[in-house]
Amino acid sequence: MGHVVVVVPELTRELEEFATGLLGFELFGGAEAKRLDDVGRAYDLAQERNLPITLSLGRHTMDTLVSFYMGSPSGFVIDFGAGGALLGDDFVQVNPAHSEVRGYKPVLKGWAPAVKPVAA
C-alpha cells in the first residue's frame, strides 16, 4: 500500500488517537491507485487543468512506488502513485540519502502552499 504524508508541528497522543481511532487511519499507511495507467491519466489531467504539480513522475527506491506530487485544493501536497511494495515493520532503508530511483524533478519553485515553517 502507498502512503499519505501529513505535515503537523507535533505528533501528539491525541492526534494519533484521532487519526487511528476516529478516522480509521493506519499511521504510516495510505492509499494508492491500482494501476500505473491511472497514475499516468491523473498526471495528464493535473497538467491539462493547470493543477500545482510539485514533483514530476518518479519512483521511490524503498517501496518501488511510481508517483507524482501535487497540491490539493486545500493546499497540502498529495503523493499519488501505484505499484508500491508493502514494507514490514522490520524494513530498514539501506541508503536513505537516495530516496528515488528516477524522476521527481521539482516543478514548482519554493515550498508547497501549505508547507510553511511553524511559528515558535
Question: Could you name the CATH architecture of 13-103?
Answer: Roll (3.10)
CA 70 centroid distance within chain: 9
Q: Give the global pTM.
A: 0.62
d(CA 35, CA 47): 19
Instruction: Kindly list the domain boundaries of the chain, sorted by start residue.
Output: 13-103
Task: Return per-residue pLDDT of the chain as tens, 120 residues.
Answer: 445 666 677 778 888 888 778 776 666 546 688 899 999 999 999 899 988 898 899 887 777 889 998 887 777 788 888 988 777 778 776 665 655 566 778 777 655 544 444 555
CA distances from 104 to 2, 15, 19, 69 (A): 16, 30, 28, 8
Residue that the C-alpha cell 494508492 belongs to:
32
